[in-house]
């Protein structure tokens, strides 16, 4: 599907759907976002290389499943522009809620509406999957709460010790949990 930002969006729900070139593009995006200061993991390794990030990409891809792990990719002009993961729960008691993780936009695609397109589509897909609550963890103090608030997400509260420090850096304060719009996705804000 192509959206107003000019990005085309596609869901991947099985490991075999994600070919080598896409894995490499995901790796490069994740590496660049991490090295630019994004709260996307690897804090203890910065700066990171493709060799650091590729195993994490492989883990995301290996966990793909139509119900429990879906990868949403945005492309513009044939290049990866952004991506995220929507995960569900196998536990029947928690089957009505999911998590949005790894929300990233390629540095060159920032400010083009790609993140908006990703968040709009993940909300639609979550609704179609019957999810009633989404959780999203974000780093606090970076303006991310304001971004997500534009889509109806609200902060549900802090997560104690949300993002631990690493050698040479103090631990961050807890994370906040923003809640999403009508289907009540919630986002967690990691302390700043």
Please, what are the domains in the chain? 1-131 (3.40.630.30), 133-192 (no CATH)
Q: Tokens in use for 150?
A: 């534009």
pLDDT at 96 (0 to 100): 87
Q: What is the pLDDT of residues 1-49, one digit of tens each?
A: 655 668 999 999 999 999 999 999 999 999 999 999 998 989 888 999 9
First to last CA, the chain: 35
Contact by Cβ (8 Å): 44, 167: yes
The span from the CA of 30 to the CA of 37, in Å, is: 11
What percent of the chain has a predicted confidence (pLDDT) above 70?
79
Q: Is pLDDT above 50 for 174?
A: no
The span from the CA of 50 to the CA of 33, in Å, is: 12
Q: Is pLDDT above 70 for 126?
A: yes
pLDDT at 3 (0 to 100): 59
Between 173 and 97, name the one with better pLDDT.
97
The span from the CA of 104 to the CA of 111, in Å, is: 12
Q: Tokens in use for 30?
A: 């994740």
pTM over 0.85? The answer is no
């Amino acid at each position: 599907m192509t959206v107003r930002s000019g990005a085309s969006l596609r869901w991947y729900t099985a490991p075999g759907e994600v070919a080598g070139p896409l894995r490499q593009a995901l790796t490069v995006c994740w590496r660049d976002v991490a090295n630019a200061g994004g709260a996307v993991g690897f804090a203890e390794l910065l700066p990171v290389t493709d060799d650091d990030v590729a195993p994490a990409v492989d883990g995301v891809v290996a966990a793909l499943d139509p119900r429990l792990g879906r990868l949403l990719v945005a492309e513009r002009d044939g290049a990866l522009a952004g991506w995220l993961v929507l995960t569900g729960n196998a536990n029947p008691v928690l089957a009505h809620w999911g998590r949005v993780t790894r929300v990233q936009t390629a540095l060159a695609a920032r400010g083009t509406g790609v993140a908006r397109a990703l968040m709009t589509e993940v909300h639609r897909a979550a609704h179609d999957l019957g999810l009633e609550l989404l959780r999203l963890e974000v780093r606090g103090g970076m303006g991310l709460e304001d971004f997500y608030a534009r889509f109806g997400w609200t902060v549900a509260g802090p997560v104690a010790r949300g993002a631990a420090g690493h050698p040479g850096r103090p631990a961050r304060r807890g994370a906040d949990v923003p809640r999403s719009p009508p289907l009540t996705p919630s986002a967690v804000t990691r302390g700043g």
